[in-house]
Chains A and B, each alone.
Chain A
Amino acid sequence: EPEVTQTPSHQVTQMGQEVILRCVPISNHLYFYWYRQILGQKVEFLVSFYNNEISEKSEIFDDQFSVERPDGSNFTLKIRSTKLEDSAMYFCASMGGINSPLHFGNGTRLTVT
Chain B
Amino acid sequence: GENVEQHPSTLSVQEGDSAVIKCTYSDSASNYFPWYKQELGKRPQLIIDIRSNVGEKKDQRIAVTLNKTAKHFSLHITETQPEDSAVYFCAARPGGNSGYALNFGKGTSLLVTP
| A and B associate in one complex | yes
The chain A residues found within 8 Å of chain B, CB to CB, are 31, 33, 41-45, 47-50, 54-57, 91, 95, 98-99, 101-107
Cβ contacts under 8 Å, A95 to chain B: 100
Q: Return the chain B residue nearest A50 by Cβ.
A: B99
The tally of residues in B whose CB lies under 8 Å from a CB in A reads: 22
**Cα(A63)–Cα(B44), bound, Å:** 27
**Interface residue from A43, A47, A50, A56 paired with B104 (Cβ < 8 Å):** A43
> Does B26 lie at the interface of the complex (its beta carbon under 8 Å from any beta carbon of A)?
no
Cβ contacts under 8 Å, A42 to chain B: 89, 104-107
Is there an interface contact between A56 and B98, defined as CB atoms closer than 8 Å? Answer: yes
With both chains docked as a complex, state the minimum distance between the C-beta of B65 and any C-beta of chain A, in angstroms: 19
Cβ contacts under 8 Å, A98 to chain B: 100
**Interface residue from B43, B99, B101 paired with A91 (Cβ < 8 Å):** B43
* A101-B46 contact in complex given A42-B89, A43-B89, C-beta closer than 8 Å: yes
Q: Return the chain A residue nearest B51 by Cβ.
A: A99
Is there an interface contact between B102 and A102, defined as CB atoms closer than 8 Å? Answer: yes
**Cα(A50)–Cα(B98), bound, Å:** 11
